[in-house]
């Protein structure tokens, strides 16, 4: 009898515990996980005074960013080399399209291949519409800075290079803002692209 009473007492305690502990639904758990993934603490978008909208390079054949053939940009790997790599490329022309939010000021473009600074351009800002800056590159300027091959990429029939463009803006109107007046993410923008190169007969 004592054993039966003890078993009944244990069952009664377990039943009370289940009533006291609220069940957590799988729907609530999923909702919490989604909230954490979508809105991480401290996440916010910087309010830039300039934004790069397009950046690409083509084989030389143009001399002005105003007629830049964006659809033929080498970042799309559209050329006749293996995998669409640029075939027997020598001179290149790179262009950056950007939009400032100020109506008066200046913009500086920096172009890099790998970590090396290849060239710069300076332009005045007189309106807040789209603007273009371009830069011509000789083969000797970029061929020295191809990406280092890895055990995986050394098997590829082409080499790659990483091109980077930066636009740094200084605004006077409608308000004064730029370097030394705010965080970099608000007065500068950067873009990067990878281009493949191959040579042969």
Q: What is the mean pLDDT of residues 129-137?
A: 93
Task: At 29, list the tokens.
Answer: 């758990």
Can you give the pLDDT at residue 18? 47
CA triplet 134, 140, 146: central angle to 5 degrees? 90
> Is 134:64 a contact under the CB 8 Å cutoff?
yes
Q: Is 119 exposed, middle or buried (0-12, 13-18, 19+ CB in 10 A)?
A: middle
Can you give the pLDDT at residue 201? 80
**pLDDT band, very low/low/confident/very high, at 60 (cuts 50, 70, 90):** confident
Can you give the pLDDT at residue 38? 45
11 pLDDT more than 70: no
Residue of higher predicted confidence among 43 and 63:
63
Write out the H or E segment, with its range, that includes residue 57: strand 50-59
Q: What is the phi/psi pair of residue 83, to 5°?
A: 70, 10
125 pLDDT more than 70: yes
111 pLDDT more than 60: yes
48 pLDDT more than 90: no
Can you give the pLDDT at residue 21? 44
Write out the H or E segment, with its range, that includes residue 38: helix 26-38
**pLDDT band, very low/low/confident/very high, at 26 (cuts 50, 70, 90):** very low
DSSP letter string over 73-131? Answer: -GGG--SSSGGGPEES--SEEEEEEEEES-SEEEEEEEEEETTEEEEEEEEEE-SSS-E
**Bridge partner list, 197:** 86, 159
Can you give the pLDDT at residue 20? 44
Can you give the pLDDT at residue 64? 66
Can you give the pLDDT at residue 135? 94
**Bridge partner list, 96:** 55, 133
Rg (C-alpha) for the chain, rounded Å, is 29
Q: What is the CATH number of domain 50-198?
A: 2.60.40.10
Residue of higher predicted confidence among 180 and 130:
130
Can you give the pLDDT at residue 65? 66
Q: What is the phi/psi pair of residue 186, to 5°?
A: -100, -20
> Is 125:104 a contact under the CB 8 Å cutoff?
yes
Q: What is the phi/psi pair of residue 155, to 5°?
A: -85, -15
Give, as one character, the DSSP assignment of residue 67.
Answer: G
């Amino acid at each position: 009898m004592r054993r039966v009473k003890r078993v009944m007492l244990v069952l009664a305690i377990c039943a009370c515990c289940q009533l006291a502990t609220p069940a957590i639904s799988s729907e609530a758990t999923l909702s919490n996980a989604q909230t954490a993934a979508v809105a991480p603490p401290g996440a916010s978008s910087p309010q830039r005074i300039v934004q790069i909208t397009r950046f690409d390079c083509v084989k030389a054949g143009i001399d002005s960013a105003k007629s830049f053939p964006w659809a033929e940009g080498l970042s799309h790997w559209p050329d006749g080399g293996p995998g669409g790599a640029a075939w027997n490329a020598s001179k290149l022309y790179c262009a950056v399209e950007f939009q400032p939010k100020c109506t008066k000021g200046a913009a500086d473009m920096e172009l890099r291949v790998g970590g090396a600074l290849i060239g710069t351009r300076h332009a005045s800002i007189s309106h807040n519409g789209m603007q273009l800056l371009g830069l011509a590159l000789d083969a000797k300027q970029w061929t020295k800075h191809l990406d280092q091959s890895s055990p995986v990429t050394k098997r590829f029939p082409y080499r790659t290079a990483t091109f980077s463009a930066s636009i740094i803006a200084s605004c006077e109107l409608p308000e004064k803002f730029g370097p030394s007046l705010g965080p970099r993410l608000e007065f500068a923008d950067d873009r990067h692209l990878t281009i493949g190169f191959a040579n042969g007969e």
